Amino acid sequence: MASTSNTEHAFLQFALDAGVLRFGEFTLKSGRVSPYFFNAGLFNSGATLSTLASFYAAALHEAEPTSFMLFGPAYKGIPLAAATAVALANEYQRDIPFAFNRKEVKDHGEGGQLVGATINGNVVIIDDVITAGTSVRESVDIIRAAGGTPAAVIIALDREEAITQDGRGAIDFVTDEFGLRVHALARFSSLMDFLAGKPELASEFQSLQDYRGHYGSTKTVR
Of the candidates 108, 183, 214, 219, the residue annotated as catalytic is 108
Of the candidates 61, 76, 103, 106, the residue annotated as catalytic is 106
Residue 108 annotated to the active site? yes
What pLDDT shows up at residue 49? 98
Amino acid at 80: L
Give the closest residue to 48 by CA, choosing from 13, 100, 72, 22: 13
pLDDT tens per residue across span 141-199: 999 999 999 999 999 999 998 888 888 888 888 899 999 999 999 999 999 999 999 99
pTM, two decimals, is: 0.91
pLDDT tens per residue across span 41-56: 999 999 999 999 999 9
Report how far residue 179's alpha carbon sits from residue 182's, in angstroms, rounded to the nearest whole number: 9
Residue 106 annotated to the active site? yes
DSSP-derived letter for residue 119 is P
Q: Which domains does the chain have, with CATH numbers?
A: 2-215 (3.40.50.2020)
pLDDT bin (cut points 50, 70, 90) of residue 222 is very low
pLDDT tens per residue across span 82-120: 999 999 999 999 999 999 998 876 655 555 789 999 999
